[in-house]
Structure 1
Amino acid sequence: MFEQQWSGVRRRLAELGTRPSSDQVFGSHGHRWALEDPLSDDGLAELEAQLGVRLPEDYRNFLTRVGAGGAGPAYGVFPVRRVQGRWRWEGDGADLADPTMLARPFPEHGPDPEVLDALLAERPEEEDFDEIEDFDDAAEAWDERWGALMFAPERTAGAIVISHLGCAQREWLIISGAHRGTVWSDCRVDDTDLAPLLDDTGTPVTFARWYLDWLEKAELTAHQPRTKA
């Protein structure tokens, strides 16, 4: 089933890249409709052996049937590459995923909302300080506390960053635990915890759904008449 759902995707992407309106698809100037070569079966096996976990089936088949990364939602799917004998994902924020924690289950919950609210209430305000240097010091100290809480490696155990939308907003693929195979939004830069992407029925979005829905919408956009400046 997973092999069939990726049938023709490379051809569709190549055709999209030739459309005059394809540059109106958000993020396309980043990936330019290019795909990495697919992984070999041996490459995938080596990757999973290094991670200590089997990747979600639809993503596994994407890697071996479509490409190891490239054209996709937002600025594209982060490529996974073998560098100096080790596999790693590359992209803006890809290093937020701790490779030593990928086999651990993704946590059911993030930080305690009451703790978050209390810390947000303590955020320094510039008007409360007589000297800008004192405000800067207080803000830096608060940022460290916030980062330690929101960006603790344990929060994203069992997950990899697969795409970014700009402005430090990213999307993660959960590869271990109860939420395995689903894609989550990361807007922690806007003081919001990670949250699953949901379809119109409230069902969590899988990698395949995430990618193929984007492809259909991209085709619709690219087939529209070019917008005049």
Structure 2
Amino acid sequence: MYKVQLERMREKLITLRSLDPDLELFGAENHEYEMASVWTQKDITQFEQKWRIELPEDYKVWLLHMGTGGAGPYYGLENPDDGVYAVLGYDDELNAVSAPFQFTEAWNWNYDWFDDSKEEEEWEALEHEYFDPKWSAGMLRISDFGCGISMNLVVKGASYGEIWVDDRANRNGIYPDQYWGNTNRLHFLDWYELWLDRSIHQMHEQKQQSGANEV
């Protein structure tokens, strides 16, 4: 089902790597266009059983045939084992990946986080609640955007299979990924291929600009 898309993406990744020998693309110095080893079906089954989830089919295909981390959007793809993480403000508690994700539309609290009328203890309690793992339940982190922002794959509950952003570190809540101008909800393979297309376009533009400046 996904064979044609995977082959196309392999070719695009090779093209992107050839266009960026100096690792100028954002995050390329981190992943260097390398991919971590693939998983077996047994590895996937063990991961799913451990966390009581079922990974989306297109993501499983990626893990089986492309890799478990490395080259990818922002600072690269994370290994699934690293996608279950300690939550900001809840250092002794992991992201509640085994519980259902609850959102179908962007979510945030309508608070003025710079309101100085509240006591420090009140703000601490609010922040603790804001970062509660229940809000990010059902999300598996797949990429680090930087600045405390994570890209996540919904693996249980509402919006299953979609890519969502956790931007609570900057008080922007949790919302579907539309950073690349897409208005539709992206699933893993389409999200990754859109990154490839945009990155190839960006590198072509940089080379054209560089050539124009040398004339």
Q: TM-score, normalised by structure 1?
A: 0.75
Q: Check 1:221–1:193 CA distance in 2 against 1; reply closer, same or farther (3 A cut).
A: same
From 156, 167, 191, give the equivalent of 1:187.
167
User: Is 2:150 aligned against 1:170?
Assistant: yes
Map residues 100-119 of structure 1 onto 2, 5 A cutoff. 101-108=96-103, 113=109, 116-117=110-111
CA distance in 1, matches of 2:116, 2:163: 30
CA distance in 1, matches of 2:52, 2:19: 41
Structure 2 SS opposite 1:165: strand
Question: Deviation at 1:8?
Answer: 4.7
Which residue is 2:9 aligned to?
9
> What value does the CA root-mean-square deviation take over the aligned residues?
3.1
Which residue is 1:89 aligned to?
82
Which residue is 1:56 aligned to?
56
Which residue is 1:84 aligned to?
none
Which residue is 1:65 aligned to?
65
Q: Check 1:197–1:110 CA distance in 2 against 1; reply closer, same or farther (3 A cut).
A: closer
Structure 1 SS opposite 2:86: helix
Q: TM-score, normalised by structure 2?
A: 0.79
User: Is 2:194 aligned against 1:210?
Assistant: no
Which residue is 1:156 aligned to?
136
Q: Which runs of 5+ in 1 are unaligned?
A: 81-87, 126-137
Deviations 1:46-103 (A, max 9, x none): 11111211101111111111101111011111113xxxxxxx226xx94339668323
CA distance in 2, matches of 1:20, 1:173: 27
Deviations 1:79-137 (A, max 9, x none): 13xxxxxxx226xx943396683232102278774xx42x6364469xxxxxxxxxxxx
Which residue is 1:219 aligned to?
200
Structure 2 SS opposite 1:17: helix
Deviations 1:149-195 (A, max 9, x none): 22101011111111112111211111111211111122212211111
Q: How many residues align?
A: 204
Which deviates the most, 146-155 or 17-26? 17-26
Percentage identity across paired residues of the two chains: 24
Which residue is 2:29 aligned to?
29
Question: Given that residues 73 and 192 in structure 2 are in contact (C-alpha distance below 8 angstroms), is that contact kept between their aligned partners in structure 1?
Answer: yes
CA distance in 2, matches of 1:76, 1:153: 24
